[in-house]
Structure 1
Amino acid sequence: MYLVGGAVRDELLGLPHRERDWVVTGCTPEDLLAEGYRQVGASFPVFLHPDTREEYALARTERKQGHGYHGFTVDFHPGVTLEEDLARRDLTINAMARDSAGRLIDPFGGARDLAARVLRHVSPAFREDPLRVLRVARFAARFAPLGFRVHPATLDLMREISRSGELEHLVAERVWSEIGAAMAAPQPGRFVQVLRDCGALSVLLPEVDRLFGIPQAPEFHPEIDTGAHVLLAMDMAARIGASPESVFALLLHDLGKGLTPAADLPSHPGHEAHGMPLVEAVCARLRAPGSFRELALAVCALHLRVHRLREMQAPGVMRLIEDADLLRRPERLQDLLEACEADYRGRKGREDRPYPQAARLRGALQAAQAVQARDLDVAGLSGEQIGARLREARIAAIARVTVTAGSAGPAG
């Protein structure tokens, strides 16, 4: 039995690892079942240890037979060696093992590539699995703070996959699994950049790819390029500890700018409304979870209004609270504010400026929540009249706690 993959890699990097995976050679499924292991793999035998619940997989080889992630035949007979199993893996840094004595087994130079901070494919068979394009981009985002880069030869294979049409055969669930994980990376913008570098972004997320080269007003966006701003905003979200939902919302928040007529550039009037159908379409295509979809739509629709809170009067603040559904779902406030703050600060040279809009909206929501119908004199009023009276009282409460301050935040 051999410890393999991420646990070995992360140990050599000095990083904690959450789980350990094992490869077993010279065994049959019946051998492991007889020892109390429980089989959980359908397409190939993976077993759970009876005590630790860690995963143990029989050593196997894979051969391409069809399209996409599932187009493989798998062989796991007892004669498959550890090196043959490691050879089917994506990157050299993931193709290392330790034996029961703790000795490192590294037939493809994974430790060397760790030291060089290189993401390199194990073999030309890398091209057989199109999902690896997304996996490499995700690893690039995860290990970006450590200085990792994609090896040029690996990037060439990723370009070959992108041109082949194989990415179109990936099922939405597998694509989302990689995208969702990348949204939790310390530099999620790197994920998008690597996909763009290899031509996969135009296949998987053409709505995002279209943003690169679209200019914005330099007084609001010194970085000018809309695609560059999206990457800066995503990385800013990770920097301030925002949720993966907020990072995903930023990936999509400016999709409407890709539809701006050339005559209007570098302004983008109405880009929030123009972007909403695109956000809906992307989320449906990826089968994004409801929490990701709902926040992405809210940020697309409302980010400019949140930026402009400093110039709003109390009725406008109340309308924003209502449109964001914050009275009914106050738990959405944190994600919304983090996404908007990252958008505001994710601009060249403006990364460290404050975002007072967040405190203002929090205070306004608290003031509105404190006013309840039971506290008002509503005797004899209809339900509609009670609702109007309650809304008026909440606007008055917001007006008491908010202080008119400064000018509006920058557009975009």
Structure 2
Amino acid sequence: MALKLCLHGVRIARPETFTEDVAKLLKLTVEQGKLREKEYGENLSARYRRSRLRGGSLLPFKVRVSEGILLVDSHLSDLFDVEFSYSTGSEKPVLAAVQQLLSGGDEFVVAEPDLKLRLHALAGKPYPRVSGDTGRLQAMKQYLYWQILIINWFWHLLYQDPDNKLLVRQVRVKIRRLRSCLVFFKDGLPEPEVSGWQTFLREEADSLSNMRELDAAVLTCRRREGAGEEGDSSAMLLNLFLQLRQDEQDKFFSHSFLNSHTEKFTEFMLWLNLLQTGAFKESGKESARHYVARRLDAWCEKMLSLSKKYPDFSDMDDLHEIRIKVKRFRYVTQTVDLTELPVDLLRQLKQLQDVLGLLHDDYVNAYWARGIALQHPGEEELQKQIQSFLSWQSARSESLLAVVSEMWENFMQMLKEK
């Protein structure tokens, strides 16, 4: 069966010549197709023309270009798709063609080639659930596949609206969730390749770290302003946080572009497709249900050992390591529904992650505030505001530290009894 990869145009310089421009970039010729109209459910339809691009019998893949409109719940959107059909072994020429396509003036994201599934997803319906009887590698692809589509789309939204602080947070969370799921499913896969993709996803999330950290600092500063006593202002500190945040945003968007993310996610998709082929047949025989149960047991044992590895709950470095493990565990149990952990345990896990997250925010906020203090040593009023801010945060951290140890013990007990 042919493997498929689809790129969807989100910003097209010349919509009226889209198919011809794609053909020119790929050095192919156009065989124009017929106009199609399809219904995929109530208020879900597509009207488009699908053309083939020809390049001779030796071309190791097929290319089809679709132009038209999609209708989802009375909302119309443009359809500009380039779909590659290929067989195992043709990954490199497909990637080279994608790179050529992305080198043009248009912007693309990876997309679901099945229009029915895409329209249902746009209408808010979830992707089909993974059956426990599915092979573990097919399950891995299903769990990771839709996350890649969402992340690439959210990158597009962020580039359209760079001032949107909520999108910065959402993109980072979604990338970290994808990375956690990759780690969960990596057992038995080629370590160099998995490690490479882990590094890529970490770098994707880290590229937004400074903006997200400064957003948290600004929010904390404003909350303190709202809760502070009359005359106890943090206005100078807040303005410097905001200035640093804008500098980080300007720096990021001056050298980062949507198509660079799309290219890497395309390569990731090609790798996921490759895992479904004969080369990994033996690894894929284990059922998803058995694999998830086995890995979850191993992860639970690791979680239970954290108290011995990081015993000091007053040490922020120890708490940071625990927070990372807790967050990864929660991302996976949220996403991989085959884990089927008790609701009370998941609720306790979320509360624990929230408290650890606040403690981490306070730690990072202090880092930024002290950095500002070092850069402005002679500004007495600013120094006063920074010390007041740090004292206020310290008191909040102490109150959180007073409860986090008990929350951790409760979570450990629930995990033992799961």
Which of the five TM-score ranges fits, normalised by the shorter chain?
0.3 to 0.5
- TM-score (normalizing by structure 1): 0.36
**RCO comparison, higher one (Cα < 8 Å, 6+):** 2
| Bigger fraction of residues in strand | 2
- TM-score with structure 2 length normalisation? 0.35
